Each structure stands twice: as C-alpha cells, then as structure tokens.
Amino acid sequence: MKILTLCLLLLLGCGESPTPILSCEPSHGITPDCRFQNPEDMAVLGERLLVSQMGAMDGTQPGDIVLYSPRSSSQKGDIEVLFPPSRVTDDRSWGAESCPPPDLVAFSPHGIDLERRADGRLMLLVVNHGLRESVEFLEVLQEGDAVTLEWRGCATGPEHAAFNDVVAKRDGGFWVTQMMPSDSQLSSMLKAVLFGSDTGFVYQWDAALGFSVVAGSNGPFPNGIEKSADESHLFINMSLAGEVRKLDLSKGEVVASAAVASPDNVTWSRDGRLLVASHTDGFLELTACQSIEAGSCGFGFEIVSLDPNDLSSKVVLANRGAPMGGATVAIELGDELFLGTFAGDRIARVKIGR
C-alpha cells in the first residue's frame, strides 16, 4: 500500500520519507554493524545471536535466519546463514501432521523464539510469511562450534492469519500474536488509529487442539510477546494502544499495564526485567521507513525497562537518526545491548551501564 494512500485514508498529514542513514560510523555511544538485512528479531545462543532477517510482512520478499558471532576471531564477527538450506527433510515430529515443509525460496521470517523443550531438545520457533502464514519448528543442533537448524514441522495459521511474534511453551506448543485480519488490514488499522479499536489477539497452539484464541488477549495491533518463567502470564505489546499488558492466563484478565509508545519486541534482561523496543516517531514516519532501499532508517526509538511485577518503567536508551533508528528488539549479550531493526542494514551495539 502506497504511503500517499495511507495518508489519505488516515486523514493525517504526511511528511517526506526519511533520509536513509548511509554512514556506518559509531556515534552517541552506539556502534553499528552494517552487514545485515532487516534484522527484526534476535535470540541468544550461548555467546552468539540467532538473527531473523526479515524480508517483508506480506511475504513478497524472502529472508533468512543467520548466526551472528560478534566476538569471533574476525574483525567484525562472523555471520553464517543457517536457514533456509538447499533442502529439508520432511520431518513433522513437532508440528501439525498436515503442515508440509516451507517453500525455501520464499521463506520470509519475522518473530523468533528459542526454548529448551521439556524433552531437553533446543527449539527455535519462527513466524514465516513466505507463501503462507505459519510458525516453523526448527531444532538447534550444536557440535563444537558448529550450529545447524533442522526443520521439525510447522503449524499453518487459521484463515486470515497475520502473525507477528511468537513465544514457545516448554511442552512444544506456542503463543503467537495475530496483528489483524489479513483480509481487512487497512480498515482494521484505520479503526485502531482513529478509535482505538481492537485489531487482533493472541493465538495458543498445541498439537492436540491446534489454534485457539487466548481469553483476554484482544487489543490494537498485538506485536511482541513474552512469557513469565512459570508460563502463567503473558506480556503482550499492543502497538497501536501504546501499551504493554500483563495477562494472567488462568483468569483471562489483564492484571497490569504500562504506557509505552508503539512497543515492538520484548525480551528478558539478565537481571529479570523486560526490555521493550519502543517507537517514538509517528505511524506514518514508520510506514515511510519501509521504502528505504539502502542504509538504515533514522526513526526515533527508546529501549524501555519494565518491572515484570507491576510494569513500572524506565528508559535505558533513546536515539533518533545516526547511527541507527527504528529499533525493534534489544537483547543482552555479555556487557553489551544488541539492537535489531525492521528497516535497515545494521545491528547496533551499546555498552551496558551497571
């Protein structure tokens, strides 16, 4: 959908598209590594990062999963494509029996989550937009320094599914955010922006029952999602409500909330707080970032730290412009915070102040 059309339909003014950041020089204590493609989400694997390089949410552009080793012997760190491979074995042991392997050429990842299953095996879940709306099950296998991802099944979404982020259950199931109906995206967004209407919810999936809607999870554009350690609560980022919600799964009730501007992905910090990537520029500026063909978008962002009990918050990092904007995820590795983005060629690194 063209930006001009969005402007007219949203009845808002629309400025010029943002100028891309082409320089890859550090500034403001932020060091960029400019060798990526829209590194929208990340997960920690030991001293390395699994990175989801997003193509496009509508599945028109492919992407991949890479392994980023920022402290390897090479000067900048190694990047290795792990998935998709040239072929996969049709092993449906973790997903739905009816779900075949993905189209490897069209594979287009979005949100990811890494979890140790109850049986001890390491599982990476991936939201995939390539020719279908699905969650792919990948097993992470490690031998020495070598890492491989083996396809173990998938779950194809219900009719009109439009997924964003996923969080795994230790029993092999998952929760996934449904942003909005795929057949009425523009009208849903318009109603949410103008009237605060709900556009989506959270699905739960398990092998026996398939997909079901999680009670109390409805909201305006559900985006990032995380779970409590005991899997009793979900933390759901409602982007168009400007809110992070804590949902008690046993009651189907929101028990705490925090005002956070356009929250995107959410991760756990080592000290037991939630780290939320927040977009601080407007919706139309965010949309315009998707037209950038090189460099990075300078879209303003904050990284907000939340207490998981009452969701009290504090801002730990903010930036607009060079060397990177549009942060979608913040994740701790060693003494650094690594930032990914939905629109750009870079991951940013920031030293953590303690």
Q: Mention every residue, 6+ apart, whose C-beta is less than 8 A from residue 250.
A: 232
Report pLDDT for 269: 96
pLDDT digits (tens, 9 = 90+) for 170-191: 999 999 999 988 777 777 777 7
pLDDT digits (tens, 9 = 90+) for 40-77: 999 999 999 999 999 988 889 999 999 999 976 556 78
Structure tokens at 169: 């259950």
Provide the pLDDT confidence category of residue 196 given band limits of 50, 70 and 90: confident
Report pLDDT for 287: 72
Average pLDDT, the chain: 91
Round to whole Å and give the CA distance between 63 and 104.
10
Provide the pLDDT confidence category of residue 18 given band limits of 50, 70 and 90: low
- DSSP states of 267-322 as a string? EE-TTS-EEEEEE-S-HHHHHHHTT--SSB----EEEEEE-TTT--EEEEEEE-ST
Quote the pTM value: 0.92
Round to whole Å and give the CA distance between 302 and 168.
26
Side-chain half-sphere of 115: how many Cα atoms within 13 Å? 24
**For residues 103-125, average pLDDT:** 97
Report pLDDT for 180: 87
Question: Which of 326, 324, 345 has its CA nearest to residue 25?
Answer: 324
Report pLDDT for 73: 53
**pLDDT surpasses 50 at 8:** no
Q: Which amino acid is located at 121 in the chain?
A: R
Provide the pLDDT confidence category of residue 4 given band limits of 50, 70 and 90: very low
**Of all residues in the chain, what percent carry a pLDDT higher than 90?**
79
pLDDT digits (tens, 9 = 90+) for 115-142: 999 999 999 999 999 999 999 999 999 9
Do 96 and 155 meet the contact criterion of CB atoms below 8 Å apart? yes
Side-chain half-sphere of 301: how many Cα atoms within 13 Å? 29
Count CB-CB contacts under 10 A for residue 17: 16
